Structure 1
Amino acid sequence: MDTALLYVDTGTAMGAAFNTMDGSMTTASKTTPASAVASAAASQGEVHVDDFTSRTSGLARAGQRLSFGTYFNAFAASYWRRWTNVEKIRLQVATAGSGVVSIYRSNARGSLQHVETRRVSGDTVSTFELPLKPFGDGGWYWFDLVAGSAPLTLNAAEWQAPGAEHTPGSVTLEITTLNKNEFCLNNLRILANNPDALAYLKEVLIVDQGTKKVKDAPGFAEIEARFGGKLRMIHQGNLGGSGGFARGMYEAVQNDSDYVLLLDDDVVVEPESIVRMVTFADHCNKPTIVGGHMFDLYNRTVLHTFGETVNPYRFQPDHPIKEQVLGHDFARTNLRTTPWMHRRVDVDYNGWWMCLIPTKVIRDIGLSLPVFIKWDDAEYGVRAKAAGYNTVSLPGSAVWHITWADKDDAVDWQAYFHSRNRIITALLHSPYPHGGRVVREGSFIDVKHLISMQYFTAQTRVMALQDLLAGPGKLHEILAHKLPEIQSMRHAYSEAKFEPDPEAFPTPGVSKPPRRGRGFQPPSYITLVPWAAKTIVRHLTKPVSKTSIERPEARVAHIDNKWWRMSQYDSAVVTNADGTAASWYHRDPEKLRDLLVEGMRLNAVILKDWQRLSEEYRQALPVITSLEAWKETFDKYSEESK
């Protein structure tokens, strides 16, 4: 029910009627209706579950229009036009019954144009030869079916690249996992149930870094048997995402695969995406990294991002076009009525929730940075681009994944890796003296955490700068040990200790009323500097009241956990991102003073020594990302050898 709008709707060529549908279908060369359409606009009539007979077939009832101008079934013509050697494509639509098949296209502005309509009757295979030349900057192809006075059945439909048959490139699909057994088994089951996708895979590799092993999970043996020897398990210590994905890259090179397909563990994969990504990569003019998009696992019609770049001045993820919406909901606005989505989006990198990398690229530029988690995918894309290898985020290829909104990335242990790895990436690739805005912005972030009473986070960020200054030679050495070290510090910080029971904390006391009866407001751009100075002085000098030590001043929902709000409290109970627990924040002038001074000192050192550090990291890059360096780390932390 919650994915069907991504595959088919019952709208007109210019837009869709909003409806609720069922299914999880589609094939990348094969086009598919949803398993069911529960309701549609009155003028279009209703479509029921039994109108859809398989993942690739279904029917339109008498007088009804079904549109395949949708995320998973429209053809992203401009991407093929720009990056591949394909000059035209062929659409074949096999139908039974009477009606029409109409072809439409769009341009980069999102303007829709009718291409051709054919009447069909009886058992018919309609073939359309469609040029790609007009799609220089954007645009899609798609088709609609309109039934006549009787139902019209769609037996199958395919987008084809004309020409000689080619042998698909071989793929090692690798999943890095840490105690996500149910997710892993589900994705293995999806692959086993889709032999078309499985046929593209030379090997399926699970790099298990957890304490609860996938191989010991109920049902694993049964699923393993369905892979016919293609499934292999590797057990190693927790080297993070970068260590797991680097292992997948390494093994793909060793077994002479043409590609490695990196896949997160906490996803639900659309298996046809594998076929599409490999087919696209095979036709690219030169070796190209091909990524899939990410949908929200808990709100499945929401596309989290359509493509990302790295802002070279701030070294933050950015969006290539200003109209792009982070978290676009296809249940509200479909593909055909979203103009910005018709412009081709060229990217710097693709997240490693699903990313296909040619092994030729790996042999040339190396494996992932040994940075545990965060920025490994972005740095690799930027590094590849500098070496002449582009990345394409391919529409119509995707997974469903937990979005960042349900994680405490910015204030939990991952803050260490955010801070350190972002600056490392800037040291390696920034074109600006002193890294542009990176260090200065990092200082601002430090202050925001400190005045928000997030001292644990601030401490991890100080550690990040200390380890960065220790040099690139230490990255492999600390890879497996840094997270346990960070976690061991939690006991010293009340805001880092979580309680699932809402009654674990005292009832909030009576806090002072908001100024002039108004709620908390962020400072304006003009007043920010004096406001920040005044707030820091108050946090450093004003004694903490006994009352706020004994009981919190307020309970704060995670969505309201903003620096300008938290800075006004001496203590507060704050809910975590997923709503499962809360922690008690306490203002501590001594911790604030120590962390503020040390953070300022370290940032000043990095700024002063930027050029030297940049040269040091750039010279070390080929060594620390080499197959030889990673093999030494893998051997050291291999659980099979122990």
Structure 2
Amino acid sequence: MKTMHTTYQPGTETETQAWEAVNRVVFPLSDQDLVLPLYAIEWTRPHLTDDVFNPRLDMESMQFGSMNGKAVRHLLNESIERHADTAASDVFTVDSRHAMTVLSGRHVSLCTFFNAFPASYWKRWTNISSVRFSAKVHGKGEIALYKSSGRGLFSALDTIRVDTTRDDAAAAGALSGNAAPDDAAPGSAAQAGFSDDANPAGFETVETVLPMSGLIDGGYFWFDAKASNDSTLQFEDAQWSVPRRENMAASGGSSDTGTAKSTGSANTTLSIAITTFNRAKYCLRQLQTIAHEPALVARLDTIYCTDQGTDLVRDLPGFEQTAQELGSQLTYLRQTNMGGSAGFSRGMYETLKAGTSSYTLLLDDDAISEPEAILRAVQFADYAKQPTIVGGGMLHLDNRTVLYTQGERFDAASVWMKPSQGLDYNHDFARFPLRDSPERHRRIDSDFNGWWMCLIPTAIMKEIGLSMPFFIKFDDTEYALRAAEHGYRTVCLPGVAVWHQAWHDKDPSRTWEWYFFQRNRWICGLLHCPKPSRRLAYEMLYSDINVGLKLVYSALHLQHMGLRDILRGPQYILDSMPGKMAEVRQERQSFDDTTLIADVDELPAPAREFTILGTPTTSKAIKKSGLKAIVKALTSRGSGVKDVRPDVAVPADQAIWRSFVGVNSALVTSPDGSTAAWCKRDSALFRRQLREGLRMSRTLLKHWDQLSREYREADIASVDAWGKVFKEQTITD
């Protein structure tokens, strides 16, 4: 197989440089109609809005009152989504996991979430100075390479013209006994006398080396492929490679390198920690996905599957076969249900005890993985300047092209999270492709990554310990903040993600999870916000008022229960973890809002139909009406405790405070739409709970310094502390 085109930028690498592929261009083999825009799209003419070219426009507010018809039309035109006019199947075909055919006269862009190379992240967090692009090609057309900037502007780097049709014709002539044509290109397959057996598909290699410059603020590398009008263009094994000599893990620079495989490979290895509770089918699917990816299995030490449920993964048809395929690379563990933090900590604990892995990948049982993303996370960690937590984004399981988030920040004042760079949550790459979303080309730095998928170096675990014994919620946030305080950053790497169930069908305030949500939030504050702000006191009060206005009095009770438990100290948090969920569930049972009805005909019909109140208004007006609602709730004598029928039925998406103003009882649909609860106003109870919340909050803030010191000095997240828990809670049978 010959090299058809090679470009070396002055001052970069030599032809003898050893390279390692770290981003292989991949395509989906299933669910293509749902996920393909994340991998490849039809090329369309670029369109960028004025603010990309003139950042001063971001400083100016819109003066809608002075806009004429022409200005309105211009504004609407700027907001029109640019879609390809043809179906993907009319533009290209996916031939295999690593191969594509661009149909004649068609043009494809690989500036997509999974196939653009996140060059700015490699520039910022590694020592890489250049990147090599290579691919095997066949047919006629061109491969064009591009680079974007942090502003989302992009420019052409190189154009590689492809034409193997002459070589194909010459090879066909040679096979039929004809000599190679006199004008055959020197070094071509015809001149070299390559036979069809030596190069059966007629593919040739193209490659080019690109310098890592102009990437401080952000930017990607990618390629577009265009077929000529009279031929298709095929490419396969396209990949982005980096110099092996800059691998920090191989030199002992960025992570504890685990024991090499028996093949003698110097590659690092990883263990994968999966914890599951009665999601057996999902968990088995995750195990099967990993087992069927040879490149991933080659880097794998062990999957630690910690089953904390009663519907056991091992009892499913297909588990035995998967277990046999993985062999010693699967360790199946059982322990009592102590939540995700205990399940993930068990995998981290076992990894440290085994002492052979450089990393532990925390992976949700009910997520759908892109195996290439796991390899990318490992290899990025190998090249990082220092041990680095590598996280992946979360794509929606029910809207597969929607990215929930790629990086979040922690706001110490409110002890809450927010998206990095002010970007919105829930970006749909089918509607707004990466190439035409300039804000997505800026490098997004993060404080933490959700544990739907997160790679943690062994070196970090050895130094800072395991997860806090939180059961669920805020364990991922706290761990990353703790790592940062020890000098270790978290990088949420584009092109790395899993599909996970989105949050829009969940409302923790209406479940037992609210206890852990609020308790762990304030413990996280004690650990990482040593000086409480006025905003923190406001947030505590707001949490009480918000759920109280929605008539969810069980949530108020759980919040105060969490505050009381915090005051008991860190050792209580650890010791109570195994039985705390059962206690929490029992505590909330006496409240009306916890009685869930699957068939609403079991209840009296609501007195009236729900209608959305009011029209859109200003933020100032909304705050004013919110304050009026609070005052009304605090002074009201209204009660729905003895109501014989609900005032109104409130749909799940409208279960916000304004829907309950003037309502004494409401039938409220759960976020997943499977049940409803009859929530009843109890003004006297609300006032008592609010007073209790204020008292507990004052106590916590009064003793904040002391409690902060106690929690930071406690040994409840250490390997030894967890070891004692696992010894007591492991189930053997």
- Which of 449, 462, 471 in structure 1 is aligned with 2:547? 449
Give, in angstroms, the shift of residue 512 of structure 1. 11
Q: In the alignment, is residue 46 of structure 1 matched against residue 90 of structure 2?
A: yes
Q: In the alignment, is residue 612 of structure 1 matched against residue 612 of structure 2?
A: no
Write out aligned runs for 1:433-582 (5 A): 433-510=531-608, 524-526=622-624, 528-538=626-636, 541-544=637-640, 549-582=643-676
Query: Hey, what does 1:19 align to over in structure 2?
Result: none
CA distance in structure 2 between the partners assigned to 1:341 and 1:59 by the alignment: 28
Closer/same/farther in 2, CA of residues 43 and 113 from structure 1, 3 Å limit: farther
- Which of 32, 43, 60 in structure 2 is aligned with 1:11? 43
Q: Residues 558 and 588 of structure 2 are in contact (CA less than 8 Å); yes or no, is this contact kept in structure 1?
A: no
Q: In the alignment, is residue 351 of structure 1 matched against residue 450 of structure 2?
A: yes
Give, in angstroms, the shift of residue 510 of structure 1. 4.8
Closer/same/farther in 2, CA of residues 342 and 553 from structure 1, 3 Å limit: same
Aligned AA (1:115): L
SS at match of 2:466: coil
Query: Hey, what does 1:639 align to over in structure 2?
Result: 731
Query: Hey, what does 1:301 align to over in structure 2?
Result: 401
SS at match of 1:616: helix
CA distance in structure 2 between the partners assigned to 1:444 and 1:89 by the alignment: 50
Query: Hey, what does 1:412 align to over in structure 2?
Result: 511
Give, in angstroms, the shift of residue 520 of structure 1. 12
Query: Hey, what does 2:307 align to over in structure 1?
Result: 208
Q: Residues 641 and 682 of structure 2 are in contact (CA less than 8 Å); yes or no, is this contact kept in structure 1?
A: no
**Larger Rg: 1 or 2?**
2
- Which of 96, 115, 140 in structure 1 is aligned with 2:138? 96
Aligned AA (1:151): T
CA distance in structure 2 between the partners assigned to 1:223 and 1:2 by the alignment: 27
Give, in angstroms, the shift of residue 380 of structure 1. 0.6
Query: Hey, what does 2:240 align to over in structure 1?
Result: 159
The size of the alignment, in residue pairs, is 608
> How high is the TM-score relative to the length of structure 1?
0.91
Q: Residues 99 and 120 of structure 1 are in contact (CA less than 8 Å); yes or no, is this contact kept in structure 2?
A: yes
Closer/same/farther in 2, CA of residues 75 and 514 from structure 1, 3 Å limit: closer
- Which of 192, 204, 215 in structure 2 is aligned with 1:124? 204
* Alignment RMSD: 2.2
Closer/same/farther in 2, CA of residues 566 and 542 from structure 1, 3 Å limit: closer
Q: In the alignment, is residue 272 of structure 1 matched against residue 366 of structure 2?
A: no
CA distance in structure 1 between the partners assigned to 2:670 and 2:610 by the alignment: 25
Give, in angstroms, the shift of residue 370 of structure 1. 0.6
Query: Hey, what does 2:440 align to over in structure 1?
Result: 341
Query: Hey, what does 1:627 align to over in structure 2?
Result: 719
Give, in angstroms, the shift of residue 527 of structure 1. 5.1
Give, in angstroms, the shift of residue 66 of structure 1. 1.2
CA distance in structure 1 between the partners assigned to 2:540 and 2:209 by the alignment: 54
> How high is the TM-score relative to the length of structure 2?
0.80
Closer/same/farther in 2, CA of residues 636 and 532 from structure 1, 3 Å limit: same
Query: Hey, what does 1:315 align to over in structure 2?
Result: 415
Aligned AA (1:2): L
* Cα deviation 1:399-446 (Å, max 9, x = unaligned): 000111111223311111111111111111115x32452232121110
Query: Hey, what does 1:24 align to over in structure 2?
Result: none
Closer/same/farther in 2, CA of residues 543 and 305 from structure 1, 3 Å limit: closer
Q: Residues 142 and 161 of structure 2 are in contact (CA less than 8 Å); yes or no, is this contact kept in structure 1?
A: yes
Q: Residues 334 and 730 of structure 2 are in contact (CA less than 8 Å); yes or no, is this contact kept in structure 1?
A: yes
Aligned AA (1:41): D
Write out aligned runs for 1:189-268 (5 A): 189-256=288-355, 257-268=357-368
Query: Hey, what does 1:361 align to over in structure 2?
Result: 460
Give, in angstroms, the shift of residue 110 of structure 1. 0.3
Query: Hey, what does 1:281 align to over in structure 2?
Result: 381
- Which of 34, 41, 48 in structure 2 is aligned with 1:2? 34
Q: In the alignment, is residue 592 of structure 1 matched against residue 634 of structure 2?
A: no
Query: Hey, what does 1:134 align to over in structure 2?
Result: 214
Q: Residues 13 and 104 of structure 1 are in contact (CA less than 8 Å); yes or no, is this contact kept in structure 2?
A: no
Aligned AA (1:414): E
Aligned AA (1:301): T
Q: Residues 262 and 354 of structure 1 are in contact (CA less than 8 Å); yes or no, is this contact kept in structure 2?
A: yes
- Which of 110, 118, 121 in structure 1 is aligned with 2:152? 110
Give, in angstroms, the shift of residue 155 of structure 1. 2.3
- Which of 380, 389, 394 in structure 1 is aligned with 2:493? 394
Aligned AA (2:591): Y
Closer/same/farther in 2, CA of residues 10 and 628 from structure 1, 3 Å limit: same
CA distance in structure 2 between the partners assigned to 1:199 and 1:310 by the alignment: 36
Query: Hey, what does 2:124 align to over in structure 1?
Result: 82
SS at match of 2:34: coil
Aligned AA (1:508): P
Aligned AA (1:631): G
SS at match of 2:623: coil
Q: Residues 14 and 112 of structure 1 are in contact (CA less than 8 Å); yes or no, is this contact kept in structure 2?
A: no
Aligned AA (2:605): T
Q: Residues 266 and 401 of structure 1 are in contact (CA less than 8 Å); yes or no, is this contact kept in structure 2?
A: yes
Unaligned runs of 5+ in 2: 1-32, 49-82, 165-202, 251-265
Query: Hey, what does 1:602 align to over in structure 2?
Result: 696
Closer/same/farther in 2, CA of residues 92 and 580 from structure 1, 3 Å limit: same
Give, in angstroms, the shift of residue 185 of structure 1. 1.1
CA distance in structure 2 between the partners assigned to 1:482 and 1:520 by the alignment: 44
Q: Residues 368 and 380 of structure 1 are in contact (CA less than 8 Å); yes or no, is this contact kept in structure 2?
A: yes
Give, in angstroms, the shift of residue 619 of structure 1. 1.5
Unaligned runs of 5+ in 1: 17-38
CA distance in structure 1 between the partners assigned to 2:323 and 2:610 by the alignment: 62
Q: Residues 262 and 355 of structure 1 are in contact (CA less than 8 Å); yes or no, is this contact kept in structure 2?
A: yes
